[in-house]
Structure 1
Amino acid sequence: MAQAPHPYFAVWATDRADALERRTRVREEHRRRLRDAHECGVRVLHGGPTLEAQDQHMNGTLLIVQAATLQAVQQFIEGDPYVREGVYDSVVIRPWAWGLGRPPA
C-alpha cells in the first residue's frame, strides 16, 4: 500500500495534575497556533480538549493533524504554548489511518 502524500497523525496529550491554571492562561495562544498551523507546515483538521468524566474539567488534548512527516508534527507540538508552559505530562503522536467519517478532500 502506497503512503498518502499527506499522512494523518493522532496527537494525544495528557495534562499534569496541577496544570489547569497554566492551561487556562495560555489557552487562547494555543488555539491561535492551532488555527495558524499551516505556517508550521502542518494542518490541524480536528482538535479539542479531553475532559474529566466527573466534573468536565479539561485534562488533555486530542488533535488530528495532517503533515508530510512525523517530524513535522513533532516540531509543531514542541512549539506549542502548552508544551512551553509545562501543561502536558505526556504527549503521544502516532501515524493514523483515517477510516470512518473522513471529510471530503
Structure 2
Amino acid sequence: MYFLVLGTDAPGKSDVRLRTRPQHRAYLRDPDGHPVKVHLGGPTLSADGETMNGTLLVVEAGDIGDVDRFVADDPYSRAGLFARVEVRPWAWSLGTPETTR
C-alpha cells in the first residue's frame, strides 16, 4: 500500500533543516529496521522556488502505523523540524513505482 507524507516545517527552523538534512537523507535511503520503502521524496519550496519549507514523500508500507512510526523516527521529526505532518493512503494511478527507481 502506498502513502503520501507531507511535512510542513515550523517557522524559524531552517537551521534545523540544514543541520539535520544529511541524516534525514541517509535515513530515507536506509530506514534501519522500518518496513517502509521510500519511492519518491524531496523538499517542498516556498513561492520563490528556492526556500525549503517542508517535505513530500511517497512511501510503500503494510499499514499507516508503519508509516507513522517511520516518520516519528525520521531525524527531522526527532529534531522538531515539523509543525505538522500528514500521512494519507494514496492510490498510485499515474506512472508506476517501477519507473521511478
Bin of the TM-score, shorter chain as denominator length:
over 0.9
Q: CA RMSD in A?
A: 1.4
In structure 1, C-alpha distance between the alignment counterparts of 2:69 and 2:97, rounded to whole Å: 25
Tell me the CA shift for residue 101 of structure 1. Answer: 1.4
Show the 5 A alignment for 1:16-31. 16-31=10-25
Structure 1 stretches of 4+ with a deviation exceeding 2 A read none
Tell me the CA shift for residue 104 of structure 1. Answer: 2.9
Gap runs ≥5 in structure 2: none
Q: Tell me the amino acid that sits aligned with residue 63 of structure 1.
A: L
Residue 58 of structure 1 pairs with residue 52 of structure 2: yes
Residue 44 of structure 1 pairs with residue 38 of structure 2: yes
Gap runs ≥5 in structure 1: 1-6
Show the 5 A alignment for 1:1-105. 7-37=1-31, 39-54=33-48, 56-104=50-98
Q: Secondary structure at the match of 2:33?
A: helix
Tell me the CA shift for residue 39 of structure 1. Answer: 2.9
Q: Secondary structure at the match of 1:32?
A: helix
TM score, norm. by length of structure 2: 0.92
* Structure label with greater radius of gyration: 1
The number of aligned residues is: 99
TM score, norm. by length of structure 1: 0.89
Tell me the CA shift for residue 58 of structure 1. Answer: 0.4
In structure 2, C-alpha distance between the alignment counterparts of 1:103 and 1:84, rounded to whole Å: 28
